[in-house]
Structure 1
Amino acid sequence: MHFISEELENYIANHSQQEPELLAALNRETHQKILQPRMLSGHFQGRVLSMLSKLIRPINILEIGTYTGYATLCLCEGMQKNGSMDTIDINEELESIQKKYFDLSPWHTQIQQHIGDAIEIIPTLEKKYDLVFIDADKENYLNYFDLIVPKMNEGGIILSDNVLWSGKVLETPDPRDLSTNVLLAYNKKINEDPRVETVLLPIRDGLTVSRVL
């Protein structure tokens, strides 16, 4: 489902900050060589993530779902000089393209790649986070959220991607459609959970901003 017209999407992108050269190269290579390139955050959403990170000025960032590392680099743009980025992905085949662009970035010494199951990795991370971006398997969004909240600093921000799920959240889901059913439960939970306050933004496929109280 397209929530706004392609013409309007192009206007929005053309009137937002230009995509940095390194990210443009990563964008191109992802579309040329990697399956499902639509999973890439892309120009406009990337600039939104960058702006939010610059407003938050996080020290420690956690990303669940690296893909090719585009959003990772966008989030690093607002990270403090003494900060760190932990990014987790289960697909080891993407590690080389991630590392290639991380090594070309100004944050190459601050980014820690974790390959494996985020449910197992998150409990081993001994940090408090100021900013978290969830963009992985939808079936585990509820689990990720409950693992993350205790690791957040007060006032920390949790960003959750794809929460509109191509408009499927407006339909009566098939009981066998686990992703849609979990996202419906997730959207309800983060809107009602007393530990956070949440606003849902209709950016691309839906992005929620949750502030930890």
Structure 2
Amino acid sequence: MHFLSDELDNYVTQHSENEPELLIQLNRETHQKILQPRMLSGHFQGRVLSILSKIINPNTILEVGTYTGYATLCLAEGLAENGTIDTIDNEEELFDFQRKYFDKSQWSSQITQHLGDGLDIIPTLNKKYDLVFIDADKENYINYFHLIVPMMNKGGIILSDNVLWSGKVLEELNPKDVSTKVLLEYNQLLKDDPRVETVLFPIRDGLTVSRVL
């Protein structure tokens, strides 16, 4: 589902910050060589992630779902000096692709890749986080959230992607559609959980911003 017309979407993109050259290259190579390139955050959402990270200026970032590393590099733009990013993905074949672009960036030494299941890896990370981006494995969003909230610094921000799920959250639920069912429950959890305050933005496929109280 397109929430904006192509014309309005283009206008929004054209009147937002330009896409950095390294990300233009990453975007292009992802579309040329990697399956499901629509999973890429892309120019507009990337600039949203970048400016949110710059506003927060986090010392520590956790990303669940690296894909080809586009969003990782957008979030890195706001890192505090000597800040770090832990990014988790279970796609072994993407590991070297991600690293190539991380190493081309100024944040190479600050980005740590973790290969495997996020539910196994997150409990091993001995850190408190200022900013988290959840963007993988929709069926485990609720599990990720409950793992992550105790690891957040007060006032930290949790970003959750794809929470409108191509508009499926408004459609009659197919009992076999586990991802949509979980996302419906997750969206209600973010609204009701007293540990966070939340705003859901209709950006791209839906982006929730939750502040830890």
Runs of 4+ in 1 over 4 A off after TM superposition: none
Partner residue in 2 for 1:182: 182
Normalized against structure 1, the TM-score is what? 1.00
RMSD: 0.4
Task: Name the CA distance, whole Å, in 2 between partners of 1:173 and 1:83.
Answer: 42
Q: How does 1:88-167 map onto structure 2 within 5 Å?
A: 88-167=88-167
CA–CA separation in structure 2 for the residues paired with 1:140 and 1:173: 18
Within 1, Cα distance between the matches of 2:118 and 2:6? 34
Give percent identity, aligned residues only. Answer: 74
What whole-Å deviation, never above 9, does each CA across 1:156-209 have from its counterpart, x for those lacking one?
Answer: 000000000000000121111000000000000011000000000000000000
Q: Distance in 2 between matches of 1:109 and 1:82?
A: 9
Q: Structure 1: state its 5+ residue gaps.
A: none
Separation in structure 1 between the aligned mates of residue 9 and residue 137 of structure 2, nearest angstrom: 26
Q: Distance in 2 between matches of 1:158 and 1:172?
A: 28
- 1:208 paired residue number: 208
- SS in structure 1 of the partner of residue 174 of structure 2: coil
Secondary structure of 2:200's counterpart equals strand
User: 2: distance between equivalents of 1:6 and 1:38?
Assistant: 15
Whole-Å Cα distance in 2 between the matches of residues 105 and 16 of structure 1? 22
Q: In 2, Cα distance between the equivalents of 1:16 and 1:32? A: 25
Alignment partners' CA distance in 2, 1:63 and 1:12: 26
Q: TM-score, normalised by structure 2?
A: 1.00
TM-fit CA distance, 1:116: 0.1
Alpha-carbon distance, 1:4 to partner: 0.7
Alignment deviations for residues 86-133 of structure 1 (CA, whole Å, 9 cap, x no partner): 000010110011000000000000000000000000000000000000
Distance, in Å, in 2 between the alignment partners of 1:116 and 1:37 is 21
Task: Quote the Cα distance in structure 2 between the aligned partners of 1:70 and 1:44.
Answer: 12
Following the alignment from structure 1 to structure 2, what is the Cα–Cα distance between the partners of residues 173 and 121? 31
Residue of structure 2 in register with 1:33 after alignment: 33
Look up the match of 1:198. 198
What is the alpha-carbon distance in structure 2 between the residues aligned to residue 94 and residue 66 of structure 1?
Answer: 9
Secondary structure class of the residue paired with 1:58? coil
| Letter of the 2:130 counterpart | D
SS of the residue corresponding to residue 174 of structure 1 reads coil
For residues 172 and 199 of structure 1, the distance between their equivalents in structure 2, rounded to whole angstroms, comes to 24
Q: 1:84 — aligned with what?
A: 84
Residues matched between the structures, number: 213
User: Are residues 1:57 and 2:57 paired?
Assistant: yes
Cα deviation for residue 150 of structure 1 reads: 0.4
Q: Which residue of 1 aligns with 2:172?
A: 172
Q: Distance in 2 between matches of 1:95 and 1:81?
A: 25
Distance in 2 of aligned mates of 1:9 and 1:207:
16
